[in-house]
Amino acid sequence: MRKKLPKHIGIIMDGNGRWAKRRGLPRVFGHKEGVKAVKRIVSYAAERGIKYLSLFAFSTENWNRPKDEVSALMKLLNEYLQKEINELIEKGVSLRVSGRVDMLPDETRQKLLDAIELSKNNNKLVLNLCLSYGGRSEIIDAAKNAAMDVASGKLTLEDFESKFDNYLYNPDIPDIDLLIRTSGEQRISNFMLYRIAYSELYFTQTLWPGFYEDELDLAIDEYQTRQRRFGKTDEQVKGN
């Protein structure tokens, strides 16, 4: 029997700073190597038939990092969007963003919106960049918008729960099946809180710049050994 691939993979790309520190280099070198890892993993995910990939590239809390590091990350992001957009389109990737985009510098936001528009008809892989992203902010933003729709009569309280995910940042992106975190930390750090309710978790000691295609294969292999029950019993899942 062919094993089921995760439809949506989320990655908390951690360990860029430590990767650089171990080599006696400034943190930004780790981020630069991190971008190379992003490129190879996006290509490989598309090749393997993954349909959705969400990458935690910048959190709402990351705004509190030293100013120089924040600007270096925004610069890397601008370069990535500028240099990679054609290749992303060639590979059939459709770009999305999740997060409080209005907080991004104008240039970055514009480049992002242009790249999203240019790639919107692609359907091999949806690449969801989580930028200025916080899982609690996403839920709060969704709850506010849903509450306003209740107040204006567009949404009923009876439908609130079943329709709630329509108010998340990208409503058509499904829940995360497999969540990967690099660098040995075992926590969620406010990533996609609503979408990870039933995700399988995969933690690795590998620092993000050292994450290669073979490790994505390992994570998918591990995922395929897991039995997903979504609250049901083993017997129900096996159809007995």
Q: Name the site residues for ligand FPP (rule: CB under 6 A).
A: 13-18, 31, 34-35, 38, 55, 57, 62, 76-77, 80, 129, 183, 208
Taking the complex as a whole, how short is the minimal distance between the CB of residue 84 and ligand FPP, in angstroms?
8
Nearer to ligand FPP, 35 or 220 (CB): 35
106 among known catalytic residues: no
The nearer residue to ligand FPP, 159 or 213, going by C-beta atoms, is 213
**Residue 169 CB, nearest distance to ligand FPP (Å)?**
16
Structure tokens at 121: 């008809």
If the CB atoms of residues 95 and 168 are measured against ligand FPP, the closer one turns out to be 95
Q: Which residues contact 161 (CB under 8 A, 6 or more apart)?
A: none
19-44 as b/e: b if 16+ CB within 10 A: bbeeeeeebbbbbbbbbebbeebbbb
Is 62 catalytic? The answer is yes
Q: How far is the CB of 25 from ligand FPP (least distance, A)?
A: 12
Beta pairing partners, 12: 56, 181
In the complex, minimum distance from the CB of residue 158 to ligand FPP, in angstroms, rounded to a whole number: 40
Residues 6+ apart with CB under 8 A from 48: 5, 216, 217, 220
Give the residue with the Cβ less far from ligand FPP, 167 or 208.
208
CB of 32 to ligand FPP, least distance (A): 8
Residue number with CB closer to ligand FPP (62 or 145): 62
Choosing from 62, 145, 166, 170, the catalytic residue is: 62
Which residue numbers are catalytic?
14, 62
